[in-house]
Amino acid sequence: MQAEIITHVLDSIRHSRDVKELRAVRDKFHERCGPPVPESQNETYVQEINLIHDALIRRTIQLSEQRLAGDGMGPPPVSYAFVLFGSGGRREQTLWSDQDNGLIYADPSVETAETASSYFEALSDLIVFNLQTVGYPPCEGNVTAMNAQWRKSITEWNQMIYSWMTAGTWEQIRHLLIVADARCVYGNPEIAEQAAQFYAETFRNTPQVAESMLNNTLRHKILLGVFGNFLKEQYGEDAGSIDIKYGAYIPFVNGIRLLSVCSGITETSTLARLAELKRKGSLQAETLERWAESFVFIMMLRSTASHKLESGMFTTSGKLKVKLLTKEVTERLRSSLRDGKGLQRTVQKTAAAFAAKGGGSR
């Protein structure tokens, strides 16, 4: 995209007076910004898309704060961090990504605890509602700040993380992996940093949890068969297509995330995590560079997946029609998926060895 387009869009976002104007800005941006060329490995496209997403979300939060102040609730009673999970936390959103978010606020005094809880509940409800107006559907798994589980004071948040690390159910372990991607998009970043450091320290002290994380991490299989064939969707409107999101992108994300958590890396971007793994010498530089190239290529393919506007919100199936892929793209995807299989084997060995430090299985 041309730099002047990005600059104009960001300026329009900053000057939007309400969420309807924000939505109009987003609609115009979608009209001017089509999906990338699959053959490209230009990660700048993904960076620019996420720059726009961050700006839209920040302005939505600002407008939500202003609305509450206008309704007589005043400013936030204590500082807070509005965090993104999922592709937003990793700065890997496509044009059609949904909402995955939470809110962590500074510990209020005993006297103001109830006021703070009420304020942030109202703020979170309004933010999530306004983000829907701007075109972001809420997470199907209810991972949004509207859900009290994802809206807590820093002390309550850390208590939740500790309980999950030490005695978490399968679902809570999945939530732990979600939290590993948390990134502050608005508010006080120090609160999010405190939460991230507590997460990393607790993980170091309970290495056996890595084994449970591994089971979650490997649940999505690479969509490449034993004979090098793509595993296609068999039924429904997507029959004949391949699931580029859950059969390629997510396995890479999950694997690199767990390797990073085991290495004490708090970066949330997949590419930044790979760079840190390389800097630490955790694995061979050549292997990490190859994974990075494969991941960027898969991200670009994911940006071309089927999508639509549904109930006023932008959605995507994460599926690609195989017949639309050129011979060159098909071969590169096959090679990238082989790298993904190698990544999953490495993750299995690394996490198992890390968990063994704590005395074996949980």
Task: Give the integer Cα–Cα distance in Å for 216 and 1.
Answer: 37
Query: DSSP assignment, residue 185?
Result: E
pLDDT surpasses 80 at 238:
no
Identity of the amino acid at 308: K
Contact (Cβ atoms closer than 8 angstroms) between residue 60 and residue 22: yes
- DSSP letters, 308-322, are EEETTEEEE--EEEG
178-234 pLDDT, tens digit each: 999 999 999 999 999 999 999 999 999 999 999 999 999 999 999 999 888 999 988
265 and 296 share a domain? Answer: yes
Query: What CATH number should be reported for the domain holding residue 177?
Result: 3.30.460.10
Residues near 101 by beta carbon (within 8 Å), at least 6 away in sequence: 82, 83, 84, 85, 88, 127, 128, 143, 144, 145, 150
pLDDT surpasses 70 at 35:
no
- Residue 201 lies inside a defined structural domain of this protein: no
Length of the chain: 362
Range of the domain at 275: 207-362
| Mean pLDDT of the region 78-84 | 98
**What does the block give as tokens for 38?**
């699959």
* pTM for the whole structure: 0.94
Which helix (H) or strand (E) segment is 150 a member of? none
134-186 pLDDT, tens digit each: 999 998 899 999 999 999 999 999 999 999 999 999 999 999 999 999 999 99
153 and 249 share a domain? Answer: no
Residue that is last in its domain, among 174, 195, 216: 195
**pLDDT reported for residue 263:** 94
172 and 263 share a domain? Answer: no
104-114 pLDDT, tens digit each: 999 999 999 99
175 and 236 share a domain? Answer: no
185 and 318 share a domain? Answer: no
- Residue 53 lies inside a defined structural domain of this protein: yes
- Structural domains counted in the chain: 2
Residue 293: exposure state from Cβ atoms within 10 A (0-12, 13-18, ≥19): middle
305 and 343 share a domain? Answer: yes
Task: Give the integer Cα–Cα distance in Å for 206 and 229.
Answer: 40
Task: Give the integer Cα–Cα distance in Å for 72 and 62.
Answer: 16
**pLDDT reported for residue 359:** 36
Task: Give the integer Cα–Cα distance in Å for 316 and 275.
Answer: 29
**What does the block give as tokens for 89?**
């936390």
- Residue 202 lies inside a defined structural domain of this protein: no
